Structure formats: C-alpha cells, structure tokens
C-alpha cells in the first residue's frame, strides 16, 4: 500500500465541481474512474478542498491510498490515458501513510481573472469575469489591501458551510495587469471559506465601480455581516493555483 499525492490541473467548465454528487459529472468522479480503468483499483480520492462548478485549477492536490503495481512516477501517464482531455494529472509522489491532502494543507493560492472591456470576449468567456463598467484601479487595490491580515471573514462566506472557525489569514494579495483588458488577482491564505475569494472579488469590484463604499467593506469585515459585503463574482474567473504543505514539493 502506498499513499500518493497527486497534482492535478483541470478546466472546470463542463463539471459540477470537484466533489462527487448524484446530479452531475465531477472531477473527483473522473479521477476515481481513471484509477478503476487503469488497473481495476477502487480508491477514494481525497482532495485538498472542493472547487465549485465551472471553477478551474492548475495546482489542485489530492491523495489516494493505492494498492497497485504501477510505479509512482508512471501514474500520471497511466491516469492521463484514461482521463478526458480537460483533466490532467501533472505529478505523483509518495507521501507518509498518515498524510491527508485536506487536513495537512498549510495554505493555498487562488487567482481570479477580470476582463474589463465594453464587450465580452467570446473566446475567453469561460475563463474570466467580464466587467463592462470602468474600474477605479486605485480603489480596487486599496479595497484588497483592507482585507490582508488575520480577520474573521464570516461576512465573506456563503451560507451552507459548517466550519469550526471563520478566522483566516490572508498573507498576500497581488494585482497583475496582464494587458489593457485583463487583470489577475492572486490571493494567498492559510485557508479559504466557502465562496470567500469570489465574494472578495465581487466586493472590491463594487467598490471600484462606485456601487459600494470602502466604509461598507470595512463594516462587513468588522461586523461579519454578509449583506454588507458585495456580490459574489462568477465562478469561471477563479483558478486554484497552488496548495502548500510541509513537504519538499
């Protein structure tokens, strides 16, 4: 028996998220079927966390306890031969048997892409949030800076999540202007709440286009009131870039 840590990239456009569910096709389901098709291995793939429908990943991580004769370094090749083209296993490495992809995660980085133009880009429509209004980039960056550090982010969490604590630490936020119409926001934290990144982005977009004030944003953070934060940005602009562990990886 081996415990294997996988690094996975996927285009989430055609999936109902990561976690297996009865009413839609998911990433987890496709991975477990790939193991079954590879050599008959019936496994439980344990993800570092769930991604929602239409959310993408370049660095999702998952572990699986495997009883297979396929060498660890050949697993990506064997699995990718069974996976659809929009899911790719990028790496596989053996980890201690008590390793858990979710509970041992030390932090994550998400990227969110905004497309600021008068009209939508029909080619890239599944990979960004189209905002046709002008954004005040100075306000946009200032609003993001307000959220850095350790806070209770209950006001930036969607309902339907049962977590022990809503306190999280945002270590770093970077805003990259890709070109005249595309902005990437990188947010790194020790963990994220349900829809936290999308609510953060929706909130700072509202501030940057004058639909919400900085004071309202600060009140949402201070009083943990969801209604004081902004709207939830759509899922297709969100990418899980990295999951960090205390491993040499």
β pairing state of 107-116 and 149-152: unpaired
Q: Which residue has the higher pLDDT, 34 or 161?
A: 34
Q: How confident is the model at residue 163 (pLDDT cuts 50, 70, 90)?
A: confident
At 62-83, the pLDDT tens digits run 999 999 999 999 999 999 999 9
The reported pTM is: 0.95
Percent of the chain whose predicted confidence (pLDDT) is above 90: 91
Per-residue confidence (pLDDT) for residue 159, from 0 to 100 = 84
Q: How confident is the model at residue 162 (pLDDT cuts 50, 70, 90)?
A: confident
pLDDT at 113 over 90: yes
Q: Could you tell me the two tokens for 200?
A: 């953060």
Specify whether the CB–CB gap between 145 and 185 falls below 8 A: no
Entry field: residues in the chain: 249
Q: Which CATH number is associated with domain 2-95?
A: 3.30.70.580
- Chain segment 124-149, per-residue pLDDT in tens: 999 999 999 989 999 999 999 999 99
Secondary structure element (H or E) that encloses residue 17, with its range: none
* pLDDT tens figures, 171-190: 999 999 998 899 999 999 99
Active site (annotated) includes residue 52: yes
Could you state, in order of their start, the residue ranges of all structural domains in the chain?
2-95, 107-244
pLDDT digits (tens, 9 = 90+) for 193-237: 999 999 999 999 999 999 999 999 999 999 998 988 999 999 999
**What is the per-residue pLDDT for 88?**
98
Q: Closest Cα partner for 46 from 5, 95, 106? A: 5
Active-site option among 52, 86, 152, 190: 52
- CATH topology assigned to domain 107-244: Alpha-Beta Plaits (3.30.70)
Residue 249 clears pLDDT 80, i.e. is over it: no
Asked if the domains 2-95 and 107-244 are classified in one and the same CATH topology, the answer is yes
Cα–Cα nearest to 239, from 187, 199, 200: 187
Mean pLDDT of the region 235-241 = 98
Rounded to an integer, what distance in angstroms lies between the CA atom of residue 246 and that of residue 95? 11
SS3 string of 119-178? CCCCCCHHHCEEECCCCCHHHHHHHHHHCCEEEECHHHCCCCCCCCCCEEEEEEEEEEEE
């Amino acid at each position: 028996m081996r415990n294997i840590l996988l690094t996975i990239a996927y285009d989430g456009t055609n999936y109902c998220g990561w976690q297996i569910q009865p009413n839609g096709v998911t990433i987890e389901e496709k991975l477990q079927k790939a193991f079954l098709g590879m050599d008959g291995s019936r496994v439980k793939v344990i993800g570092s966390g769930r991604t929602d429908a239409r959310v993408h990943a370049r660095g999702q991580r998952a572990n699986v306890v495997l009883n297979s004769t396929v060498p660890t370094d050949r697993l990506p090749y064997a699995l990718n031969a069974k996976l659809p083209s929009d899911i790719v296993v990028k790496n596989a490495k053996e980890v201690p048997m008590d390793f858990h992809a979710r509970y041992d995660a030390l932090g994550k980085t998400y990227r969110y892409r905004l497309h600021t133009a008068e009209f939508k880009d029909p080619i890239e429509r599944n990979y960004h949030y189209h905002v046709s209004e002008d954004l005040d980039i100075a306000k946009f960056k200032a609003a993001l800076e307000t959220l850095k550090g350790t806070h209770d982010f209950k006001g930036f969490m969607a309902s339907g999540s049962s977590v022990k604590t809503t306190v999280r630490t945002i270590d770093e936020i970077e805003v990259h202007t890709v070109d005249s119409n595309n902005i990437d926001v990188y947010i790194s934290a020790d963990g994220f709440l349900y829809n936290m990144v999308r609510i953060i982005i929706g909130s700072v977009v509202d501030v940057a286009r004058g639909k919400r004030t900085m004071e309202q944003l600060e009140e949402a953070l201070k009083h943990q009131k969801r209604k004081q934060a902004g709207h939830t940005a759509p899922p297709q602009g969100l990418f899980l870039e990295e999951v960090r562990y205390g491993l040499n990886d």
